[in-house]
Structure 1
Amino acid sequence: MAKLYHVPLSPFCRKVRLSLAEKKIECELVEERYWEQSAEFLRRNPAGKVPVLRIDGRTLSESAPICEYIEEKYPEPALLPKSAEARYEVRRLVAWFDDKFHHEVTSKLLYERVNKKMMSAGYPDSSNVKAGARAIKYHLDYMTWLLDHRRWLAGDVMTLADFAAAAHLSALDYISDVDWNRSEVVKDWYAKIKSRPAFRNILTDQVSGFPPPPHYADLDF
């Protein structure tokens, strides 16, 4: 069985979890306090980051290449389309959420509200929280534009781009930082994706000291 060293609210870990679950790959989850930089964990990944996936006798790190590895080794059901052009668009959007969205939103909201407390790293920086709350509106509007033109974020079928976006938004939804009333089309997209069997374990996550809101695991909001 595969083993994933993870943090429950990490969007990068969630993206890997969704990929594994969609492909029905059984995986043991091991919570890793990566910020403590234990010698054992650093042997698994000298970068000191999660996720780290142990699969097929290999130890893999970094969420993007992990997901690509899973896709190449376990191609069904496909999370990357066949054409080079369509794959480019999926990879572009994965990078958008894991880079731009993460820098402008996730790191400003989730990390300030949750990670600092977990790491005993002080109190949230209110200026960062306000910046993240402003930035998420722009990103939700961009998602609305995409979904007005497509069935899913990258095209007509669900792909890794949808999982990357849902990983970030689900982590933020756990702390009630997504205004679902801003866009009905984004809300409908999220309701559709969080109703998938692959999402079940993520909706049962519980983080000590941070209970989720009642709507978090409600498939109908």
Structure 2
Amino acid sequence: MNTPASNSTIRLYHVALSPFCRKVRLVLAEKRIEVELVEDRYWEPDSERIRRNPAGKLPVLRMDGRLMAESQAICEYLDETHPEPALMPRNPAERYEVRRLCAWFDDKFNTEATRPVMNERVWKKVMRQGYPDSRTVKAGLGAIRHHMDYMRSLLEHRRWLAGDVMTLADFAAAAHLSCLDYISDVDWTHSAEVQDWYAKIKSRPAFRSLLADHLPGVHPAPHYALLDF
């Protein structure tokens, strides 16, 4: 049972293989903000996600005396209140590009790749909802390759996805790909550029807690926690 938190305790209510939770975890870790991770098994009847967030979504961050929801809003709040290291550029045009790419991964990539593959390969098993639909999985895997092609086109002209410095856009993309990599559904041979980019992200100290994740009943791929993959 969780003990009551003091007003100064920062808590993140999350689930391990959620890209949205992972994006917030990466930002918290990159900015060296100490946080208590509290797993919310939202599919179980005693979940309090609706009480914490009427939208019923994770993550929820308890910080500064309030409960905050929506991963993008949380991440930008953290970047504004803890400005070092900066994850959003100062230039408006550059900030636009970061937000555009965050939306790309959290909306388009999630709809076409993360959600269908994870739902079929992971959450159906965890929630005991039957067997995966092979056609849905196949379509999702194809979408991953198409998105990797788009990422490669960006990385051919940039050091990072949104420009020459690492930003929240990189964390958003890595959060989605890391969930899929956990179940070995990313073909890294498809793009050396994307693999090199992910290796840089994966080697950051902020990524360590993600590499230690383990969802009961769903074992990570053998290479998942390896920096040399």
Q: How far is the alpha carbon of 1:120 from its aligned partner?
A: 2.1
Match of 1:85 in 2: 93
Distance 1:36 1:51 in 2: 16
Distance 2:45 2:28 in 1: 26
Q: SS at 1:21's partner residue?
A: helix
Deviations 1:74-108 (A, max 9, x none): 11110000000000000000000000000000011
What stretches of structure 2 of length at least 5 have no aligned partner? 1-8
Distance 2:180 2:202 in 1: 14
Q: Which of these residues, 19, 34, 37, is aligned with residue 29 of structure 1?
A: 37
Distance 1:154 1:39 in 2: 37
Q: Is the 8 A contact 1:90 1:161 kept in 2?
A: yes
Deviations 1:50-90 (A, max 9, x none): 10110111100111111111111111110000000000000
Change (3 A) 1:67 1:25: same
Q: Is the 8 A contact 2:113 2:140 kept in 1?
A: yes
Change (3 A) 1:39 1:134: closer
RMSD value, Cα: 1.1
Distance 1:163 1:19 in 2: 8
Q: How does 1:22-61 map to 2 (within 5 A)?
A: 22-36=30-44, 38=46, 40-61=48-69
Distance 2:45 2:171 in 1: 28
Corresponding position: 1:171 with 2:176: no
Distance 2:158 2:45 in 1: 43
Higher share in helix = 1
Match of 2:27 in 1: 19
Corresponding position: 1:6 with 2:14: yes
Q: How far is the alpha carbon of 1:39 from its aligned partner?
A: 6.5
Q: How does 1:117-156 map to 2 (within 5 A)?
A: 117-156=125-164
Deviates more, 1:121-130 or 1:186-195: 121-130
**Alignment identity in percent?**
69
Runs of 4+ in 1 over 6 A off after TM superposition: none
Deviates more, 1:187-196 or 1:40-49: 40-49
Deviations 1:173-217 (A, max 9, x none): 000000000111110000011100000000000111111122111
Distance 1:168 1:66 in 2: 17
Q: Which of these residues, 189, 197, 200, is aligned with residue 205 of structure 2?
A: 197
Q: Which of these residues, 62, 72, 75, is aligned with residue 80 of structure 2?
A: 72
Q: SS at 1:149's partner residue?
A: coil
Distance 2:45 2:164 in 1: 42
Q: Which of these residues, 124, 137, 140, is aligned with residue 116 of structure 1?
A: 124
Distance 2:193 2:162 in 1: 15
Normalising by structure 2, report the TM-score. Answer: 0.94
Match of 1:161 in 2: 169
Deviates more, 1:169-178 or 1:202-211: 202-211
Corresponding position: 1:213 with 2:205: no
